[in-house]
Amino acid sequence: MLGQFNLILPEIALTVVTLFAQVVAVFYRSSLRFITLALIVALIGIITGLLYFVPQTEIGFSSSFEVSSTIHLFKALILGLTIMSIVLYKELRKISNKPIKMEFVTLMLLSTLGVFISISARDFILLFCGLELQALAGYAMAAFNVNEVKSSEAGLKYFVLGALISCLMLLGLSFLYGFSGSMYFADIKTVLNETFHMGLVIGAILVLAAILFKLSAAPLHIWTPDVYEGAPIAAVTYFSVAQKIGVLVVLVNFITLVVGDYVRISVDLIKIAAVLSILIGSLGAIMQFSLKRLMAYSTILNVGYVLIAISLHSDNGLYAALLYMFIYVIGTIGFFACLIALFGPKADTASFADLRGIAEQKKAIGLAISIIMFSMIGLPPLAGFFGKYYIFYNAILQGEIFLALLGVLTSVVAAFYYLKVIKYMYFMERTEELTNIKTNRGLLMISVFSIGFTLFFFIFASSYLI
């Protein structure tokens, strides 16, 4: 029995480090910056362990929890993105001359723990617990700025809609258990693919809806723009990078390990969600003025592209989906780092009007944002081009011409609002003086990493695009 606990050593380490840092912060509030730095070092140690101690594929705890080299790689990636989100939060508090609130960092790490559990889960009880841990921490993070009405509104809206979707997921799980007699992924897949049960289909659809909700896929996207606009920018960064990667892995697990070859769900429903996400994401952003709302619709659009790849129901399609999401979140975190470096505490309310003429005063940041926007459009030789190319190329190979054409056309539509960012920075005159914010090492490192990855991905593209 003790041997099984080796499988959850990363989760145990993450829990211990998180709670220990929170307890220490309570007694040593004057040393919060040092405690946060020590916490980041400890988290980097956990990432090193995940990458160094690569296990064979093993499953334990009554076949409910699986680890493998691929799962460890995803956990290391998610934790790395979480560390970047913590650094953004830490540097934003420093720029704002406000003390770090360790409770926010703790919530972020507890949400990451929920993601870890979710991607290793192989039965629905454990999956539900992991997703709820991730979601409950997310609700609190969205409403963390208690003195701001929009933050409270964002947290309340996220909580109400999230609670509703959790209830629907539980209803779906009751259908799955009632008609299959099991909560294990493998058992349900066997029954679903061998014999037709309408109850199983209904249950699988409800669970799929819950996962798509967390992924911000249409038509279950309605929480995303309001929550992104109202939540603190550090929380939005975490939602749009670390959480998105984790939920995508959960979706891939659900499609491959539960739904299997039942194409009415694994292909048809995913296609519908992909088309709706692409249309709503591309058209909905056109009239936006808030930069955070813009990124919310950008997330919906790019999730649509990811769902095109998943709907191909092939190994290459799944690989393309994961690769594209990784490219997108690296660009996203770079964009938010640039916003914080530009506007500091005003980044939460930044709009297009605030970008007027900033490239003249902040040439490096203006160039960085331009590179990220061009990558999101899909211009070669930037990383975003290769991500889109691989998805559309595989779609055409499998005969999905409509999806590929729709993806290309909506990329052109999306270019309108991505180029609008560049237009405001370079071709509009600034009417007020930009507050000078001292160059910050943490933000600089994240921005350089994001831009470097975006610019030089083509060097390694041949090895990724298999």
Q: Indicate the average pLDDT of the chain.
A: 90
pLDDT value, residue 289: 87
> Is pLDDT larger for residue 128 or for residue 53?
128
Spell 27-39 as b/e; 16+ CB within 10 A means b: eeeeebeebbeeb
Q: Where are the domains of the chain?
A: 277-466
Output the six-digit token pair for 436: 């000078």
* Of 178-192, 385-399, 421-435, 447-461, the least confident: 421-435
- The rounded radius of gyration (Å) of the Cα atoms in the chain is 21
Q: Is residue 463 predicted with pLDDT exceeding 90? A: no
Task: Return d(Cα 276, Cα 258) in angstroms, integer.
Answer: 24
pLDDT value, residue 422: 92
Q: What percent of the chain has pLDDT over 70?
A: 98
* Of 171-175, 436-440, 448-452, the least confident: 436-440
pLDDT value, residue 128: 95
Sign of the C-alpha dihedral computed for residues 291, 297, 145 and 110 taken in this order: negative
Residue 430: band (very low, low, confident or very high) from pLDDT cuts 50, 70, 90: confident
Closest listed residue to residue 107, CA positions, set 22, 11, 191, 23: 22
Inter-residue contact 149 to 229 (CB < 8 Å)? no
Q: What are phi and psi of 68, to 5 degrees?
A: -160, 175
Q: What is the pLDDT of residues 77-110, one digit of tens each?
A: 999 999 999 999 999 988 888 888 899 999 999 9
Inter-residue contact 21 to 105 (CB < 8 Å)? yes
Task: Return d(Cα 173, Cα 55) in angstroms, integer.
Answer: 30
pLDDT value, residue 372: 94
The torsion defined by the Cα of 246, 252, 254 and 260, in degrees rounded to 10, comes to: -170
Determine the average pLDDT of the residues in 365-369. 92
3-state secondary structure of 121: strand
Residue 462: band (very low, low, confident or very high) from pLDDT cuts 50, 70, 90: low
Residue 291: band (very low, low, confident or very high) from pLDDT cuts 50, 70, 90: very high
Inter-residue contact 161 to 222 (CB < 8 Å)? yes
Residue 61: band (very low, low, confident or very high) from pLDDT cuts 50, 70, 90: confident
What secondary structure, in 3-state letters, does 379-395 show? CCCCHHHHHHHHHHHHH
Q: Is residue 466 predicted with pLDDT exceeding 70? A: no
Inter-residue contact 18 to 110 (CB < 8 Å)? yes
Q: Is residue 2 predicted with pLDDT exceeding 60? A: no
Between helix 363-377 and helix 401-427 the angle, nearest 10°, is: 160
Q: What is the pTM of this model?
A: 0.94
pLDDT value, residue 465: 57
Determine the average pLDDT of the residues in 300-327. 94
Inter-residue contact 89 to 234 (CB < 8 Å)? yes
The partner residues of 67 in beta bridges, in order of sequence, read 58
pLDDT value, residue 3: 65
Closest listed residue to residue 58, CA positions, set 120, 114, 112, 2: 120
Q: What are phi and psi of 121, to 5 degrees?
A: -65, 140
Tell me, what DSSP letter sits at residue 184?
B
* Of 223-227, 229-233, 307-311, 431-435, the least confident: 431-435
Closest listed residue to residue 142, CA positions, set 116, 118, 161: 161
Closest listed residue to residue 305, CA positions, set 347, 274, 263: 274
> Is pLDDT larger for residue 417 or for residue 439?
417
Closest listed residue to residue 44, CA positions, set 68, 66, 13: 13
What secondary structure, in 3-state letters, does 51-95 show? HHCCCCCEEECCCCEEECHHHHHHHHHHHHHHHHHHHHHHHHHHH
Inter-residue contact 134 to 107 (CB < 8 Å)? no
Residue 389: band (very low, low, confident or very high) from pLDDT cuts 50, 70, 90: very high
Measured from the Cβ of residue 152, the count of other Cβ atoms closer than 10 Å reads: 16
Task: Return d(Cα 105, Cα 466) in angstroms, integer.
Answer: 38
